[in-house]
């Protein structure tokens, strides 16, 4: 059984209009990002504008995505058309490459996600029983 992966991506986007545009563009990634056979591979996704404060070190936007597995995160990076469209929309808007960190979901979060998969698909999302 795959372990869910939480990924945080932080962006330094100075223009408030660009921030609003990209937050709106990202808002549909959870439903737009699907793999054959048309099952979503993202448990949850959200993007937020950060509060202005010195501890942010210039970062203005954070995206949080929870993937079913590390393999799904790799698919998102290398093959996902929905992610490619967001990257294209964001070209030239950030002052530097994003900071990306990933980690295993905590056990309670992972258990909740597996229950959701079982309820939705009757399996773990990869054909295995939960």
The pLDDT tens digits for 58-98 are 999 999 999 989 999 999 999 999 999 999 999 999 999 99
Rounded Cα–Cα distance for residues 31 and 63 (Å):
15
Task: Identify the CATH number of the domain defined by range 5-121.
Answer: 3.30.70.100
Q: Which residues of 3-31 are buried (b: 16+ CB within 10 A; e: fewer)?
A: ebbbbebbbbbeeeebbeebbeebeebbe
Domain ranges of the chain: 5-121
Query: Considering the entire predicted model, what is its pTM?
Result: 0.81
Q: Does 76 or 117 have the greater pLDDT score?
A: 76
Mean pLDDT: which of 36-45, 84-93, 115-124 is highest? 84-93
**pLDDT > 70? residue 130:** no
């Amino acid at each position: 059984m795959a372990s869910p992966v939480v990924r945080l991506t932080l962006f330094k986007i100075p223009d408030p209009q660009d921030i609003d545009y990209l937050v709106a563009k990202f808002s549909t990634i959870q439903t737009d990002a699907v793999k054959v056979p048309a099952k979503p591979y993202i448990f949850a996704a959200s993007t937020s504008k950060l509060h202005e404060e010195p501890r942010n070190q210039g970062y203005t936007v954070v995206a949080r995505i929870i993937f079913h597995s590390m393999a799904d995160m790799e698919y998102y990076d290398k093959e996902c058309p929905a992610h490619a469209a967001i990257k294209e929309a964001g070209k030239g808007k950030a002052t530097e490459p994003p900071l990306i960190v990933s980690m295993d979901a905590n056990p309670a979060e992972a258990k909740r996600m597996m229950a959701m998969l079982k309820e939705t698909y009757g399996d773990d999302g990869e054909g295995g029983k939960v």
